């Protein structure tokens, strides 16, 4: 089994990484390889074309390769909630929760990640054109082995962007270095209430794999649940994953995982799917309201706990 991850250095994707590196997939009899494929839409295209079995990425981005959710489904969540953060240059003087700091600024974000930021701004009364907000690619983010969060933190320190919308590792590196100030953490109540459910870190696969290899699909879910449980029981195990996959940033991962432990739950609720669908329609990547059972592989829901 080949599992694609669009950003290895992310606490929200750590359950999938732990499922591979700590042996939980092997315990299910599944030989799995983890591959960094970025940006996320490329990972989903690889899955659509049969070169990848599972994508461990953002749920809404499945639509980049599977319009109207036709041909793919979500298996489970890796972690609950919108897991990207707005960090602004520290010299701007931004305050936590105050989005006025983005007016007239250049914010770095990957394309499908930036969609959530655009909607968050719109629901917060920020008009990008009127208020002069520019969302741009993160400088240096093009490349086969690039991790966006860490690159974004570096770009912020170099002042090539005014802020970024990226993962928890990028936010941690930027804030700890003094280069950045955390402004929005939607998981912990910043921004519009519905932003929590715009998307989340999930496992997605094709209808074809579910039909032809249901035991492997079920085994992948069980491995994620086992990895989540292991991390909740002992967050220090995240250090093993970091040492294997991203030793340069591994020093931060245990603290980040410990902070995120309440979100390491595998369920996919009807409320989440309804709000994600609404978000997807608002940003123009979905034109119909797709039923819950057409988005989620509900035959496996008993495995989430």
For 145, the token pair is: 């082995």
> Is it the case that residue 59 has pLDDT exceeding 90?
yes
Number of domains within the chain: 2
Tell me: do 98 and 144 sit in the same domain: yes
Asked if 83 and 201 touch (Cβ cutoff 8 Å), the reply is: yes
Tell me: do 42 and 173 sit in the same domain: no
**Averaged pLDDT, 187-201:** 97
Burial 152-169 (b: 16+ CB within 10 A, else e): bbbbbbeeebbbbbbbbb
Q: Which of the residue ranges 54-68, 97-111, 122-136, 239-253 would you say has the lowest mean pLDDT?
A: 239-253
Domain boundary among the residues 149, 175, 196 is at 196
Q: Which of the residue ranges 131-140, 268-277, 279-288 would you say has the lowest mean pLDDT?
A: 131-140
Indicate the SS3 state at residue 118.
helix
- Which stretch of DSSP H or E encloses residue 54? strand 54-58
User: How are beta strands 85-89 and 163-166 bridged, if at all?
Assistant: antiparallel
Tell me: do 14 and 51 sit in the same domain: yes
* Res 150: pLDDT: 83
Termini Cα distance of the chain: 23
Tell me: do 266 and 171 sit in the same domain: no
* Res 251: pLDDT: 85
- What is the tens place of the pLDDT at every residue in 117-170? 999 999 999 999 999 999 999 887 665 556 678 889 999 999 999 999 999 999
**Averaged pLDDT, 16-44:** 96
Tell me: do 165 and 116 sit in the same domain: yes
Tell me: do 139 and 49 sit in the same domain: no
Tell me the CATH number at 173: 3.40.190.10
> Is it the case that residue 26 has pLDDT exceeding 90?
yes
Indicate the SS3 state at residue 4.
strand
Tell me: do 216 and 73 sit in the same domain: yes
Q: Which of the residue ranges 99-108, 138-147, 175-184, 205-214 would you say has the lowest mean pLDDT?
A: 138-147
Tell me: do 107 and 57 sit in the same domain: no
- With pLDDT > 70 as the criterion, what percentage of the chain qualifies? 98
Mean pLDDT of the chain: 95
pLDDT bracket for residue 9 (50, 70, 90): confident
Tell me: do 192 and 52 sit in the same domain: no
Tell me: do 6 and 66 sit in the same domain: yes
Domain boundary among the residues 140, 166, 196 is at 196
Domain boundaries, position 238:
2-81+199-304
- What is the tens place of the pLDDT at every residue in 83-114? 999 999 999 999 999 999 999 999 999 999 99
**Averaged pLDDT, 2-15:** 93
Domain boundary among the residues 144, 168, 196 is at 196
Look at the pTM and tell me if it is higher than 0.85.
yes
Tell me: do 97 and 158 sit in the same domain: yes
Tell me: do 216 and 189 sit in the same domain: no
């Amino acid at each position: 089994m080949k599992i694609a991850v669009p950003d290895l250095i992310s606490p929200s994707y750590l359950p999938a990484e732990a499922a591979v590196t700590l042996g939980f997939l092997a315990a299910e009899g599944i030989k799995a390889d983890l591959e960094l494929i970025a940006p996320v839409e490329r990972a989903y295209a690889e899955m659509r074309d049969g070169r990848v079995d599972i994508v461990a990425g953002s749920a809404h981005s499945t639509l980049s390769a599977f319009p109207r959710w036709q041909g793919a489904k979500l298996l489970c969540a890796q972690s609950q909630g919108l897991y990207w953060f707005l960090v602004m240059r520290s010299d701007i003087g931004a305050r936590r929760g105050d989005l006025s700091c983005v007016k007239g600024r250049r914010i770095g974000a990957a394309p499908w990640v930036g969609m959530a930021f655009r909607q968050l701004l719109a629901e917060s009364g920020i008009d990008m054109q009127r208020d002069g907000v520019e969302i741009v690619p993160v400088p240096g983010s093009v490349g086969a082995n690039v991790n966006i969060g860490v690159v974004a933190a570096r770009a912020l320190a170099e002042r090539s962007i005014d802020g970024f919308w990226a993962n928890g590792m990028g936010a941690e590196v930027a804030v700890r270095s003094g280069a950045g100030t955390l402004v929005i953490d939607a998981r912990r109540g910043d921004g519009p209430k519905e932003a929590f459910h715009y998307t989340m870190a999930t496992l997605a696969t094709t209808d074809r794999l579910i039909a032809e290899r249901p035991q492997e699909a079920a085994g992948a879910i069980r491995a994620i649940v086992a990895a989540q449980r292991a991390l909740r029981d002992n967050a220090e195990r995240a250090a093993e994953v970091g040492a294997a996959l991203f030793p340069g940033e591994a020093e931060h991962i245990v603290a980040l995982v410990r902070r995120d432990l309440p979100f390491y739950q595998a369920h996919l609720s009807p409320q989440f799917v309804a709000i994600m669908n609404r978000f997807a329609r608002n940003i123009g990547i979905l034109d119909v309201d797709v039923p819950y059972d057409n988005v989620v592989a509900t035959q496996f829901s008993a495995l989430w706990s």
